[in-house]
């Protein structure tokens, strides 16, 4: 599955949509996600952020609980983008060990 986390943009063809960080994490935890594209700002505070998801991915990678996946960040938030990319690069370091 290719997972697209965003609350506003149209979902690209061939991708499964998540609107909140909780939805994205549930899909990741269920397995089968091979690629993810993250937006940072997801609307109201209870929706969480893409950074929440990136941190979850990094933590699961560190404990060997998540297989490597391809990732991208499509957020227009420059600070959020930087933080998400840093967490996902951290996950890559764990996966490469």
Q: Name the helix (H) or strand (E) containing 21.
A: helix 21-30
* Predicted local distance difference test score (pLDDT) of residue 18: 98
pLDDT 10s digits, 43-92 = 999 999 999 999 999 999 999 999 999 999 999 999 999 999 999 999 99
* Predicted local distance difference test score (pLDDT) of residue 55: 98
Q: Domains plus CATH for the chain?
A: 2-95 (3.40.50)
* Predicted local distance difference test score (pLDDT) of residue 86: 98
Local confidence band at 37 (pLDDT 50, 70, 90 cut-offs): very high
* Predicted local distance difference test score (pLDDT) of residue 46: 97
Three-state helix/strand/coil letters over 25-69:
HHHHHHCCCCEEEECCECCCHHHCEHHHHHHHHHHHHHCCCCCCC
Q: Residue 97: is it exposed, middle or buried by C-beta count within 10 angstroms (0-12/13-18/19+)?
A: exposed
């Amino acid at each position: 599955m290719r997972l697209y986390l965003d609350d506003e943009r149209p979902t690209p063809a061939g991708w499964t949509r998540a609107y909140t960080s909780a939805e994205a994490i549930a899909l990741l935890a269920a397995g089968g996600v091979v690629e993810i594209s993250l937006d940072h700002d997801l609307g109201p505070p209870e929706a969480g952020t893409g950074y929440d998801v990136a941190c979850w991915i990094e933590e699961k990678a560190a404990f060997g609980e998540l297989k490597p996946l391809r990732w991208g960040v499509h957020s227009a938030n420059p600070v959020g983008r930087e933080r998400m990319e840093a967490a996902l690069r951290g996950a890559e370091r764990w996966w490469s060990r």
